[in-house]
């Protein structure tokens, strides 16, 4: 199947390094990040899994659950986890799905139909508390993912889900934001009593409202 932004993401049951997972139940009312890997004992992914472990307090602070996936079996995951801790200095502190039969990979369209192996299984899915897909990114095997950018996107998604604003280019938490054009000036005066800076009628800049987690 092909997933599009705004679609309800598929539910699934899977084994993981933290035990069995029924995905929608596991996610509950939280935001979620599902990120996949081509196979175990790959160098770039070894660094990525450790980086997510290091950043897990940042995901927790935002109310986001993280879930990794690789197409190798659970026993292989456990051996890989030992290598990750040894070489990177961070132990896995979130579940890593064993997807040996490609069930989840196929549900989420991670494997390109023309691929001869699993090297295209390298995606990031950000999922809202409503179980709808908010963002998807796919990387080549040679390029490590930037999880600071993924946290930045989560900040933007959580902010814009709560307030009628959009985030401009290179926005980061605490920067000014844009009032969306669908909000009239009359409505904006009620929502943003401190006022805004109008560059054009469609480009109204306002200090960032508070995000509630």
Which residues are catalytically annotated?
45
Helices 43-61 and 147-162 meet at what angle, rounded to 10?
30
Strands in 197-200's sheet, in edge-to-edge order, are 165-166, 177-179, 203-206, 197-200
Helix (H), strand (E) counts: the chain = 6, 11
Q: Which residue has the tokens 């307030």?
A: 163
CB burial string 100-130: b at 16+ within 10 A, e below:
eeeebbebbebbeeeeeebebbbbbbbbbee
Question: Are the beta carbons of 50 and 37 closer than 8 angstroms?
Answer: no
Between CA 171 and CA 83 the distance in angstroms is 36
Question: Are the beta carbons of 133 and 2 closer than 8 angstroms?
Answer: no
């Amino acid at each position: 199947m092909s997933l599009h932004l705004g679609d309800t993401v598929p539910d699934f049951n899977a084994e993981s390094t933290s035990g069995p997972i029924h995905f929608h139940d596991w996610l509950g009312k939280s935001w979620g990040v599902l990120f996949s890997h081509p196979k175990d004992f790959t160098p770039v992914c070894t660094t990525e899994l450790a980086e997510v472990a290091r950043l897990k307090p940042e995901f927790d602070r935002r109310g986001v659950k993280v879930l990794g996936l690789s197409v190798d079996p659970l026993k292989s995951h456990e051996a890989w986890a030992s290598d990750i801790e040894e070489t990177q200095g961070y132990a896995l502190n979130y579940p890593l799905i064993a997807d040996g039969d490609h069930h989840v990979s196929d549900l989420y369209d991670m494997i390109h139909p023309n691929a001869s192996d699993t090297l295209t299984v390298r995606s990031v899915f950000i999922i809202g508390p409503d179980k709808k897909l908010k963002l998807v990114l796919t990387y080549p095997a040679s390029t490590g993912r930037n999880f600071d950018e993924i946290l930045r996107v989560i900040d933007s998604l959580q902010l814009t889900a709560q307030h009628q604003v959009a985030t401009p280019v290179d926005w980061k938490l605490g920067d000014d934001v844009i009032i969306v054009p669908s909000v009239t000036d009359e409505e904006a005066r009620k929502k943003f009593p401190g006022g805004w800076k109008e560059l054009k009628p469609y480009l109204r800049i306002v200090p960032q409202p508070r995000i509630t987690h």
